[in-house]
Structure 1
Amino acid sequence: MLYQVIMTVDLPRDLASEEATRILAQEKAYSQDLQRSGKWRHIWRIAGQYANCSIFDVRDHDELHQILSGLPLFPFMEISVTPLLRHPSAIREDDR
């Protein structure tokens, strides 16, 4: 199933810079592993915000929840999830 996920990050101002650096490095490694696996298909920055718009391709809602809750930045995120379905007018056959 495809999902559009918008993630907005709000790191606490009092978070130690060393801790923030550690969390951000873990987040990058985790997200890049998911991208390599094909589960995190696309990621785009949202201009002017500490946020991204991503497309996930996972088995079901439970798998998406596991992935998102495993993000090192998860405690500092507001997340919006929208399930996506193939549009009947779409001309590309390589998306479902």
Structure 2
Amino acid sequence: MDFLVRIDGSRVYELPVEERNAIVEKEHTHAHELHAAGVLKYIWRQPGQRANVGIWSAADADALEAVLAGLPIRPYAEIEVSALATHPLTLEFAAAQA
């Protein structure tokens, strides 16, 4: 199941520089692990904000919640999640490319 996830991590920038840098580095490494595992499919930065949006994949909402709870930045982040369903045009576009 795919989800649109928006993460605003701006509160981490209120921390002392060394603590913030350590969390951001852990988050960066963890993101690579999530991508390799097929959980974090795509991610985009939102210009002018300390936020990002991405397409995440998990078996269900509970599985996604477990992943999000494990993010190093989680204590300092506001997270919004929207479940996604396949649009019929997506299937048509895929068929046209095949």
The TM-score with structure 2 as length reference comes to: 0.88
Q: Which letter does structure 2 place at the counterpart of 1:83?
A: A
User: Between the two proteins, what is the percent identity of the paired residues?
Assistant: 34
Instruction: Give the match for residue 89 of structure 1.
Output: 89
Once residues 25 and 12 of structure 1 are traced to their aligned partners in structure 2, the CA distance between those partners, rounded to angstroms, is 13
Alignment partner of 1:47: what SS?
A: coil
Once residues 7 and 17 of structure 1 are traced to their aligned partners in structure 2, the CA distance between those partners, rounded to angstroms, is 20
In structure 2, stretches of 5+ residues that fail to align are none
Instruction: Give the match for residue 44 of structure 1.
Output: 44
Once residues 26 and 72 of structure 1 are traced to their aligned partners in structure 2, the CA distance between those partners, rounded to angstroms, is 6
Q: Following TM superposition, by how much is the alpha carbon of 1:18 offset from its aligned partner in structure 2, in angstroms?
A: 1.1
In structure 1, stretches of 5+ residues that fail to align are none
Instruction: Give the match for residue 56 of structure 1.
Output: 56
What RMSD, in angstroms, separates the aligned Cα atoms of the two structures?
1.2
Q: Which letter does structure 1 place at the counterpart of 2:12?
A: L
Q: Following TM superposition, by how much is the alpha carbon of 1:11 offset from its aligned partner in structure 2, in angstroms?
A: 2.0
CA-to-aligned-CA distance 1:5-48 (integer Å, 9 cap, x gap): 001112252x2211111111111111110011111000100011
Alignment partner of 1:23: what SS?
A: helix
Q: Following TM superposition, by how much is the alpha carbon of 1:72 offset from its aligned partner in structure 2, in angstroms?
A: 0.6
CA contact (8 A) 2:41 2:55 kept: yes
